[in-house]
Amino acid sequence: MKKQTPLPPAGVRLTEGLAQRMQQLVRDKVVPYQWEILHDRVEGAAKSHCVENFRIAAGLSAGEHYGMVFQDSDLYKWLEAVAYTLEVFGDPALEAQADEMCELIRLAQQPDGYLNTYYTLCKEDGCAQKRQEGYEPCRVAGLPDGSDATGERLPGLGNRFGNLQQGHELYCAGHLFEAAAAYAAATGKRDLLQTACRFADYLVKVFGTGEGQLRGYPGHQEVEVGLVRLYEATGGKRYLDLADYFLSERGRKPLYFEAERKRKGFCDLFGQPALYLPTYAQIHARPVEQTDAVGHAVRALYMYSAMADLAALKSDPAMAHACAALHRSVTERRMYITGAVGSTHVGESFTGDYNLPDDTVYGESCASVALMMFESRMAALTGEGGPFDTVERAFFNRVLGGISLTGTEFFYVGPLAVDPAACRENPDLHHVTTVRQPWFDVACCPTNIARAIMSIGGYAYAEDGDTLYVNIPLAAEVRHAGHAVRVEGEYPYGGTVRITALADGQRVRLRQSGLAPAVALTLNGSPLPLAAERGYLILPELRLADTVEATLAMAPHYVAAHPGVTNNVGKAAVMRGPLVYCAEQADNGAGVAGLAFAEALACEESEAFTHDGAVALTVKGFKAAFAGDEALYRNALPVWEAAEIRLIPYYLWANRGEGEMRVYLNVR
């Protein structure tokens, strides 16, 4: 049983502050821009062809599939972001566009329920590469085997699920299921949900331990999360059972993927043998036996999210124990201060404990969205408020840092130290872009960022019966199922939060954050004790017009990494509340790596360049100066000259052009 459930977007109307401004940006700029991108109408951006792929699969257009094997998911995540946008703001014109896409998806669905434009449109074996001689399609009893009654091959049917490790059919299905559940909740329209259920019912027939079924599972986890969403939207227990099957079958010996690759004529889509490592796709052990976060970070965290869902919904103590171990592995040993995860570009993966390099980090935007998903589910599983520290860390730093202030450029990776010259010249940094990009060939991140921003109200506010949980104190008017409160404040910048009851009988629990803890609490001006239980401040039942005011600790302070993070020994970062700060060349000139903080933090706050309430810091420190010639090595230490170091919130970096950037600086 989940101990708290997110409020729907319609129940949380953000009224001011950073998150509200970002939701307006998504509504006004991001969603319309991505609509144009998906229709290939943005000059200079990487080609998407996503909508056109669906049009071709639906028989409405002629042509061939273009793009990655997972291209369909871009449209699904856009639709999910649109669903939340409609629920928050309403927009008849946008809803009409979304309805058009829902119908297009329905038309692209095959008669038996299967839905994937890549495998529908590509050559006989479903592989965009030249057909390999002697390919053996994957056959399932009672399903098309690639031939009709006359023996003629049917395009795209012969190898459905013939490459589960790389094919992403189930990954795309998961994003369809999430979008469909969200769109039905937002609009009351169930057409897309019916399309999703037809596909899910097809999967129920294909996968399992019964005779003639495939005993496989997805290479890229996500379908498990989507199936849980379908279960919650429809009550169809078969969807929950299929999610449970995928998790329980994963990692069993002999490994399905190893047998799959040995099939005659197996078509390798990516040509990267490193991706065959069992740890890469988390098949090295059964999920319930896993204790360390390994492999591709997004895959891992989507899987952990589903594990937490199943542990709660099925009251599975063994799965809950595994989730707790994985939570500790990620947040205590393998996560960056910004909420980035995935230390290496090789496999976009986790590495070892405390191996957190600042410059070669991958830290994909999608991984931090997935981290938000997992940690919020850990709170729902355990009833503890602590995991929302990680949700805040990831959202306010890495996720918001993945999008420009214009809403039309995006970061895929999230470095903590950038030298543009090194990024151009060092192939080990080829994955690091120094400015945000208009789009990507692999474009999973932009739509993921959009859906995360538009769903933040459900992270901030949750319920358990008649109790309202304030997990992140975003300024909002909350009205849902008897809950009626107004929350005021400029969080994450403002240090005061006011909660006013808009009706009698309001039971509210305010999270005692580890990043911006309450240091004083009053009810109608009278002091309240700072008594907390499971990470939540205990408040009396509120009557109409009662106001609770919390004063938060928001003073800037140094943060040092564990000494195992060897690249940052002797260095510090600065945080203010949940926000991580960084030094940019735009404020401090070239040579940002030569800056050092003074041992005692002394700083002044001022308005950031955005002029929207963001707080910049000016910190007392030093800058290294070298006298004499330009020798590579010299027999002299630098002279440390007094300097004022200008810091901005990390999420704002690279909005003023290309330049050096660092989060951690030396301390002297």
More confident residue, 636 or 471: 471
Angle in degrees, CA 243, 449, 5, rounded to 5 = 50
198 closest CA partner among 239, 232, 235, 137: 239
Quick one: pLDDT at residue 271? 85
- Please provide the DSSP assignment of 597-659 as one string: E-SS--EEEEE-TT-SS-EEEEEEEEEEE--S---SS-SSPPEEEEEEEEEEEGGGTTSSSS-
Q: Find the helix or strand (DSSP H, E) in which 12 lies.
A: strand 12-14
Residue 188: both structure tokens together: 């009351």
Give per-residue pLDDT as tens, 200-253: 999 999 999 999 899 999 999 999 999 999 999 999 999 999 999 999 999 999
Give per-residue pLDDT as tens, 80-124: 999 999 999 999 999 999 999 999 999 999 999 999 999 999 854
β partners of residue 666: 571, 596
Nearest-angstrom CA–CA distance, 245 and 623: 58
179 closest CA partner among 376, 380, 404, 454: 454
Mean pLDDT calculated for residue range 163-171: 96
Provide the pLDDT confidence category of residue 129 given band limits of 50, 70 and 90.
very low
Residue 542: both structure tokens together: 């509120």
- Indicate the average pLDDT of the chain: 94
Distant-in-sequence contacts of 43-50, Cβ < 8 A, 24+ apart: 44/438, 45/438, 45/439, 46/437, 46/438, 46/439, 46/440, 46/441, 46/443, 48/74, 48/439, 48/443, 50/74, 50/75
Question: Where would I find the H helices in 235-316?
Answer: 237-249, 256-262, 297-313
202 closest CA partner among 278, 119, 126: 119
**For the chain, domain boundaries:** 49-285, 295-301+313-458, 465-552, 559-667
Report the catalytic residues: 348, 444
Quick one: pLDDT at residue 629? 74
Quick one: pLDDT at residue 428? 96
Provide the pLDDT confidence category of residue 127 given band limits of 50, 70 and 90.
low
Following CA atoms 218, 219, 221, 223 in sequence, which dihedral angle do they give, to the nearest 10 degrees? -30
Percent of the chain whose predicted confidence (pLDDT) is above 90: 90
Nearest-angstrom CA–CA distance, 104 and 108: 6
Lowest mean pLDDT among 45-54, 121-130, 210-219, 618-627: 121-130
For the whole prediction, is pTM greater than 0.75? Answer: yes
Question: Where would I find the H helices in 413-469?
Answer: 420-425, 444-454, 456-460
Asked if the model's pLDDT at residue 149 lies above 70, the reply is no
The CATH number of 465-552 is 2.60.40
Q: Is the dihedral of CA 480, 484, 486, 491 positive or negative?
A: negative
Distances (CA, A) of 52 to 48, 49, 56, 423, 623: 9, 5, 6, 35, 54
Residue 464: phi and psi, rounded to 5, are -140, 100
Beta-carbon contacts of residue 436 (< 8 Å; ≥ 6 apart): 402, 403, 404, 409, 410, 411, 654
Lowest mean pLDDT among 113-117, 142-146, 307-311, 642-646: 142-146
Asked if the model's pLDDT at residue 570 lies above 70, the reply is yes
Lowest mean pLDDT among 154-158, 186-190, 273-277: 154-158
55 closest CA partner among 112, 100, 86, 8: 100
Angle in degrees, CA 254, 256, 260, rounded to 5 = 120
Q: What SS3 state is found at 129?
A: coil
Asked if the model's pLDDT at residue 143 lies above 70, the reply is no
* HSE value, Cβ hemisphere, 13 Å, CA-based, for 613: 14
Residue 156: both structure tokens together: 């795209």
More confident residue, 75 or 149: 75
The pairing of strands 507-511 and 467-470 is parallel
Nearest-angstrom CA–CA distance, 666 and 299: 35
Q: Counting beta carbons within 10 angstroms of the beta carbon of residue 461, is it exposed (0 to 12), middle (13 to 18) or buried (19 or more)?
A: buried
Q: What is the DSSP letter of 294?
A: -
Is the bond into 254 cis (omega within 30 degrees of 0)? yes
Asked if the model's pLDDT at residue 148 lies above 60, the reply is no
Q: Counting beta carbons within 10 angstroms of the beta carbon of residue 44, is it exposed (0 to 12), middle (13 to 18) or buried (19 or more)?
A: exposed
196 closest CA partner among 233, 168, 166: 233
Lowest mean pLDDT among 116-130, 136-150, 438-452: 136-150
Nearest-angstrom CA–CA distance, 15 and 19: 9
Quick one: pLDDT at residue 264? 80
Asked if the model's pLDDT at residue 131 lies above 70, the reply is no
